[in-house]
Structure 1
């Protein structure tokens, strides 16, 4: 490796391993939930240095690339003369302005088709009716083509009769497969030796190189930034961004001697293996950090006394910089901290109970008194025939209580806390064809964002239809809740949304005026509530939440005044978490920009 390339890679190891983003990659070295952005950029840098002749030193004794291209052209002319292939359309001469950069001595620019005596083939147009699950010919699809990796994920086949009828191109081991669609467009891999015959779908082009060039070298070129930028400049299609095979043939490719191609491939493989190791070490570090965060934060919720809680918090503070680094690990830890704050809140461990003050003679009114008023009001509503009488539920048993609560709190069934749980209309009652723009809005789960309703003007119904759905109106201080998908997602109805309509897939929850709606929203964000509503606490997996499960849910209920203090403290701490998260995100963005700058400087 050149001294310049070695310095670029070795001097920035911390940068390559620490720059991490949410997963977007489809190629070599992808991880499960994240994208190791720094390692990805390092891989791109390695390939770009390779195709610019900066990864390995040139040998002046090597044959010039021009001679290699002459032999390919001669072989192609002979194939035409022997009528084994059709005479290809003459490609345009390469102009000086087209060349992306200067090449080392002995290298040459060529068009992609210049490298292939057998030309560049289209994949075959295979319709659904042509496929046969019992067929013996594998249909290689776009999803199989990774960045430098044949992913071998598709499982579709055709039979040999269809292969003959459609005159399909059978793949050969060593063919370079190039994706004509994102993401990324132009990515390439080498077709391996599969146990069955195979063809490709139309979105995958086939480059057959024979023995004149080294297939892995051409694959590496196709996965380089130089190649991709050219492909993207040709990509067309408003709905499906693609490049035609005709345009793909004209892409410029840097060519060196066959011996140097072998040296480049060997060095790329060596460095990619190092990238694999760096990636593995980074992922192991992230796993270890997640274990540390879980241990320190779980210790807070598992504390058996206030003294133990304070000791565990002090231990967390001592490891603050380790727990919240300027990486994605820190961002994940902040999310866990926010969840821990919510959990401590509903366990009664976030704020202390009210103490006697000089001019006061009472503590907080016990939650049991609030429950009595809720029960009395509910009985009156039943008597006035405003709500239906609910079937009584048994008291919460000791085994059902999720955690021990402070004095003055109580664990109740959700049905005891809530006046009414109403279901939104069934899907069959509202067709999407009945949606109008700017009518009476429907509130679906997707409109419940951060505890508020964010409507979509196009998801509404006419006033005539709204009259038919009048029983599904919502009113100020109602709480709407998702009963499928992200179950427990909630929003409080404000005066603005009063008399809008509850949409499908939602509940409307109504409470006594004294119950703190922000506390209810807080409760349903907790890990305990999310797991319960998702069925984990009752040993099932649910796709739709029903009344029975929700009404039986054990709920930690603090005194009324404590609810207000808890909400205020959670908002205060959450705001601090968000500020910390913003700082870490800014630091991460700076890392990514620096990574991009290092790559750009290296190839400029």
Structure 2
């Protein structure tokens, strides 16, 4: 009888699970088609109609916090299409803004404060992906930033001023996070060239993750330098709202352009100045840039609120389900136990020298191993290498592939001695 009852209840569970999956699939399809209808609007009236349909059905279309990511993408897409704000006849035409930027650029070159910019391919009619509102123009990102350069490749210094240098490790969720800053000595000329200012934009030039390559970081921590894993863009701030450039850079339209320009070097995705500079970007009048930034901020706060509500609803539903099961079975379901305190551990991975590389070959890791009896821990080798951890792993992968370093055995974890933990 127990077996028969369990089989009956499990069949009901299977049916319920299948119904939930079917409902979720239909809901996802409906949400995506509704969002697509808004994104595909070709007139203010059509946009108003499709947006009303979306807003009137938020509860049916959005079920989980992660669903809101689609809405965020839609907001950014509408922003670069000029659908989020109204145009005004009093706004300065973007053609005039572009001409003013070129005039400033020309003056900086004449005063030898800027190198002569590399010209970009002129826009052709078939380059234009969609029409823009009156007063807007199409341009390339490199045309808007007179100052456009890679970061410093220097990792150590013997003389100079101690200066914090941003690394990939200092970027968290596309924002600068200087919780563990690293300083090196820079000369005055290096500081003049590589110090960041508020309002600069950094672009991740190289990273092992394709999601992070080409990401834009709005600088709000001036006075620090930046390493060569980044490209810096500096704008004429009175003519360009850098927050608009950052908003546009998050849009699916620009993200797709950048991801299409990735190249793979030493096993890592990379982009360069030419890739970034050639990206197409819609340029509104400066007054409308300000309005777009304000409107996007308002809608992103709405998205934050929706995510919070959906997260809360999910937690309530979970508690309700637990209560219902407890009531039906008479078995109390315990609360989460206090997390077990994990012991302090360290990673032990030994690297050994393989075939000796040719003297003309660039194999810095194998060279270091050869000087230390052909074997050392990965941690010690990285420290002696002196580079960023991402660069170390890329170089290690290359040298293992050539047989200069033997394929590492699986790493082991061991508990640290008590005195080491306290230290």
Query: Which of the five TM-score ranges fits, normalised by the shorter chain?
Result: 0.5 to 0.7
Q: Find the aligned partners of 1:443 and 1:275 in 2 and give their Cα distance.
A: 52
Distance 1:348 1:599, change over 3 A: same
Q: Residue 527 of structure 1: which of 244, 252, 257 is its match?
A: 252
Match of 2:354 in 1: none
Distance 1:391 1:465, change over 3 A: closer
Match of 1:285 in 2: 23
Q: Does 1:398 align with 2:125?
A: yes
Q: Does 1:453 align with 2:179?
A: no
Q: Does 1:345 align with 2:79?
A: yes
Q: Find the aligned partners of 1:381 and 1:395 in 2 and give their Cα distance.
A: 22
The Cα offsets for residues 431-486 of structure 1, whole Å up to 9 and x where unpaired, read as: 8xx9xxxx7433234544566422122x3124x25779634321222112222442
Q: What are the equivalent positions in structure 2 for 1:74-85 lying under 5 Å apart?
A: none
Specify every segment of 5 or more residues in structure 2 that has no aligned partner in the other structure, as ranges.
Answer: 333-423
Match of 1:476 in 2: 198
**Residue 510 of structure 1, CA deviation:** 0.5
Match of 1:498 in 2: 222
Q: Is the 8 A contact 2:202 2:218 kept in 1?
A: yes
Q: Find the aligned partners of 2:152 and 2:17 in 1 and give their Cα distance.
A: 49
Q: Find the aligned partners of 2:169 and 2:317 in 1 and give their Cα distance.
A: 33
Distance 1:423 1:277, change over 3 A: farther
**Residue 271 of structure 1, CA deviation:** 5.0
Q: Does 1:430 align with 2:155?
A: yes
Q: Find the aligned partners of 1:313 and 1:338 in 2 and give their Cα distance.
A: 14
Q: Residue 59 of structure 2: which of 321, 326, 330 is its match?
A: 321
**Residue 391 of structure 1, CA deviation:** 2.3
Q: Residue 578 of structure 1: which of 297, 304, 311 is its match?
A: 304
Distance 1:430 1:595, change over 3 A: farther
Q: Find the aligned partners of 1:280 and 1:442 in 2 and give their Cα distance.
A: 53
Q: Residue 386 of structure 1: which of 103, 113, 128 is its match?
A: 113
**Residue 283 of structure 1, CA deviation:** 2.9
Structure with larger Rg: 1
How many residues of Structure 1 are paired with residues of Structure 2 in the alignment? 317
- Structure ranking higher on relative contact order (CA contacts 8 Å, 6+ apart): 2
Distance 1:511 1:306, change over 3 A: same
**Residue 417 of structure 1, CA deviation:** 1.0
Q: Is the 8 A contact 2:263 2:270 kept in 1?
A: no
Match of 2:269 in 1: 543
Q: Find the aligned partners of 1:351 and 1:548 in 2 and give their Cα distance.
A: 31
Q: Find the aligned partners of 1:392 and 1:377 in 2 and give their Cα distance.
A: 16
Specify every segment of 5 or more residues in structure 1 that has no aligned partner in the other structure, as ranges.
Answer: 2-55, 57-262, 356-362
Q: Does 1:507 align with 2:231?
A: yes
- In the superposition, the TM-score normalised over structure 2's length comes to 0.68
SS of 2:165 mapped into structure 1: strand
Q: What are the equivalent positions in structure 2 for 1:38-57 lying under 5 Å apart?
A: 56=2
**Residue 517 of structure 1, CA deviation:** 1.3
The Cα offsets for residues 10-36 of structure 1, whole Å up to 9 and x where unpaired, read as: xxxxxxxxxxxxxxxxxxxxxxxxxxx
Distance 1:420 1:584, change over 3 A: same
SS of 1:563 mapped into structure 2: helix
Q: Find the aligned partners of 1:597 and 1:443 in 2 and give their Cα distance.
A: 50
Q: Find the aligned partners of 1:504 and 1:282 in 2 and give their Cα distance.
A: 49
Q: Is the 8 A contact 2:138 2:283 kept in 1?
A: yes
C-alpha RMSD over aligned residues = 2.8
- In the superposition, the TM-score normalised over structure 1's length comes to 0.48
Q: Does 1:334 align with 2:68?
A: yes
Distance 1:267 1:420, change over 3 A: farther
Q: Is the 8 A contact 2:34 2:54 kept in 1?
A: yes
Q: What are the equivalent positions in structure 2 for 1:238-253 lying under 5 Å apart?
A: none
Q: What are the equivalent positions in structure 2 for 1:92-131 lying under 5 Å apart?
A: none
Distance 1:290 1:389, change over 3 A: same
Q: Find the aligned partners of 1:446 and 1:286 in 2 and give their Cα distance.
A: 37
The Cα offsets for residues 314-358 of structure 1, whole Å up to 9 and x where unpaired, read as: 22234332113xx31xx3332211211111111111111015xxx
Q: Find the aligned partners of 2:262 and 2:27 in 1 and give their Cα distance.
A: 30
Q: Is the 8 A contact 2:262 2:271 kept in 1?
A: no
**Residue 528 of structure 1, CA deviation:** 1.0
Q: Is the 8 A contact 2:263 2:271 kept in 1?
A: no
The Cα offsets for residues 137-160 of structure 1, whole Å up to 9 and x where unpaired, read as: xxxxxxxxxxxxxxxxxxxxxxxx
**Residue 507 of structure 1, CA deviation:** 1.5
SS of 2:269 mapped into structure 1: coil
Distance 1:284 1:422, change over 3 A: farther
Q: What are the equivalent positions in structure 2 for 1:101-500 lying under 5 Å apart?
A: 263=3, 272=10, 275-324=13-62, 327-328=63-64, 331-355=65-89, 363-426=90-153, 429-430=154-155, 440-449=163-172, 452-457=175-180, 459-462=181-184, 464=185, 470=191, 471-484=193-206, 485=209, 486-494=212-220, 497-500=221-224
